[in-house]
Amino acid sequence: MWIIVLFDLPTDTKQARKQYTKFRGFLLDDGYTMMQYSVYMRHSSSDENAKVHVKRVKQKLPPDGEVRIVKITDKQFGKIEVFYGKKRRPIEPPP
């Protein structure tokens, strides 16, 4: 099971940038890696384990902005197509 966190947070004030940095730091500390800007992913061994991590994200939501959480299976994750320019590259290997 993969958890993907997508977020769009304001960075127009010093306080907003602090909230952004704090949320991003939480994700990194909780085992997420950056998939691309404002998109972080984490592998979980089961749906039950994924629910624990989703609950942690919900507890750390910043006061402003938008956060979305998507859970997908290993099989679905393996079907992601990644392109850099027009060249296709393989996806990240699972842990």
pLDDT of residue 53: 97
Tell me the C-alpha to C-alpha distance, in Å, between residue 26 and each of 4, 34, 88: 14, 12, 31
* Domain architecture of the chain: domains with CATH: 2-89 (3.30.70.240)
pLDDT of residue 87: 76
What Rg, from alpha-carbon coordinates, does the chain have? 14
- Give the predicted TM-score (pTM) of the model: 0.87
How much of the chain is helix, strand and coil, in % rounded to 5? Answer: 35, 30, 35
- Mean pLDDT by runs of 10 across the 95 residues of the chain is 96 95 97 95 95 96 95 93 80 72
pLDDT of residue 40: 98
pLDDT of residue 23: 97
Numbers of helices and strands, H then E, in the chain: 3, 6
pLDDT of residue 25: 97
pLDDT of residue 45: 93
Q: Where are the beta strands (DSSP E) in the chain?
A: 2-8, 33-36, 39-43, 66-72, 82-84, 87-89
